[in-house]
């Protein structure tokens, strides 16, 4: 944290604005993600966290502002460069988003089909699939279908699918929502271990204060469409601002 100024910036978002019709969801949002850190973004439901992260990965277009990922400007990217960047950025969706018509194995192999280049020629993806499944502790599920998995298992398989490309940045959209406290805790521990093992930089969107406390190097509160306040968990949880302290009351 001390020399954060000299650390490499993986993601820079400047003055991001995004509206749906009349409804302005993001109104000049700023953010920087440094190499190797875990940045937690908190905000009320409907405050635009998912919208922000989707703009970041190019799933939604933004109205104005700039997004830079690993020194490349998202707006000026052609489709090929965007795909290249996407191999380096993993995305864990809010609802897991496993392909229900495919088995766990096929789900994990799917991202590999287009990104073979990163691993050279690949005759048999099984070792990579197994490695990813083992890192989430579910190697025995390889031949199951998504409908045979519990919510927590789905979340982990989705995480494995994200990990299989060994991304440098992982974006987590509410990784613990909808799970019981114990499973949530397991997922958070898993995220932490992945962080340590692969040295990824992560953006974690969450409502879960315990998760934030455990995992955050830095936090941003997204309120009224802007980065309302930035700081460590300890700093923010001591804040006097009622809008900020509301998040930490239990």
Partner 1 sequence: MYLYVTTSGLNSFFIETGELANFALRFFKEVFKRPFEFKEFLRQCYNMGNRSLLLVGVTGFIIGLVFTLQSRPKMIELGAVAWLPSMVSISIIREIGPIITALICAGRIGSGIGAELGAMRVTEQIDAMDVSGTNPFKFLVVTRILATTLMIPILVIMSDAVALFGSFLIENFKGDVSFTLYFDEVFRALTYSDLIPSTIKTFFFGFAIGLVGCYKGYYCKHGTAGVGLTANAAVVEASMVVFIIDFASVLITDIFYSI
Ligand X SMILES: Nc1ncnc2c1ncn2[C@@H]1O[C@H](COP(=O)(O)OP(=O)(O)OP(=O)(O)O)[C@@H](O)[C@H]1O
- Total number of residues binding partner 1 (CB under 8 A)? 23
With CB under 5 to 8 Å by kind, the binding choice for 51 among partner 1, ligand X, Mg ion, none is ligand X
The only residue of 93, 172, 233, 247 in contact with partner 1, by rule CB under 8 A: 93
Instruction: Please report how close the Cβ of residue 117 comes to partner 1 at its closest, in angstroms.
Output: 10
- Distance CA(243)–CA(42), nearest Å, equals 12
With CB under 5 to 8 Å by kind, the binding choice for 72 among Mg ion, ligand X, partner 1, none is none
- Strands (E) located in the chain: 9-20, 23-34, 38-42, 64-69, 72-73, 89-92, 169-173, 201-205, 218-223, 226-231
67 is a site residue for ligand X (CB under 6 A)? no
Q: Are 150 and 158 in contact, with CB atoms under 8 Å apart?
A: no
The only residue of 13, 33, 42, 50 in contact with Mg ion, by rule CB under 5 A: 50
Label residues 25-36 b or e (16+ Cβ within 10 Å = b): bbeebebbbbbe
Nearer to partner 1, 54 or 62 (CB): 54
Instruction: Please report how close the Cβ of residue 63 comes to ligand X at its closest, in angstroms.
Output: 13
Task: Give the number of other Cβ atoms within 10 Å of residue 197's Cβ.
Answer: 10
With CB under 5 to 8 Å by kind, the binding choice for 212 among ligand X, Mg ion, partner 1, none is none
DSSP 126: H
With CB under 5 to 8 Å by kind, the binding choice for 123 among partner 1, ligand X, Mg ion, none is none
Compute CA distances 21 → 18, 55, 192, 228, whole Å. Answer: 10, 16, 39, 23
x/- track of binding to partner 1 for residues 134-163 (CB under 8 A): ---------------------------x--
Residues that bind ligand X (CB under 6 A): 20, 25, 43, 45-51
């Amino acid at each position: 944290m001390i020399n954060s100024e000299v650390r490499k910036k993986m993601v820079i978002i400047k003055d991001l604005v995004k509206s749906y019709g009349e409804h302005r969801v993001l109104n000049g949002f700023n953010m920087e993600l440094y190499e190797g850190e875990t940045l937690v973004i908190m905000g009320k439901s409907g405050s635009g966290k998912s919208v922000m992260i989707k703009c970041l990965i190019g799933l939604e277009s933004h109205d104005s502002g700039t997004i830079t990922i690993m020194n490349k400007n998202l707006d000026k990217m052609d489709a090929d460069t965007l795909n290249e960047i996407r191999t380096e950025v993993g995305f864990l969706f809010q609802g897991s988003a496993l392909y229900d018509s495919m088995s766990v194995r096929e789900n994990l192999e799917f991202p590999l089909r287009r990104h073979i280049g990163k691993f050279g020629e690949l005759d048999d993806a099984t070792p990579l699939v197994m490695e990813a499944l083992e890192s989430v502790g579910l190697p025995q599920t390889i031949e199951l279908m998504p409908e045979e998995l519990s919510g927590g298992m789905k979340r982990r398989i989705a995480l494995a699918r994200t990990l299989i490309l060994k991304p440098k940045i992982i974006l987590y959209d509410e990784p613990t929502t909808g799970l019981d406290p114990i499973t949530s805790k397991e997922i958070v521990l898993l995220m932490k271990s992945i962080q340590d093992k692969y040295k990824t930089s992560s953006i974690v969107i969450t409502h879960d204060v315990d998760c934030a406390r455990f995992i955050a190097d830095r936090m941003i509160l997204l309120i009224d469409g802007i980065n309302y306040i930035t700081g460590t968990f300890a700093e923010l949880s001591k804040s006097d601002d009622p809008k900020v302290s509301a998040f930490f009351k239990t």
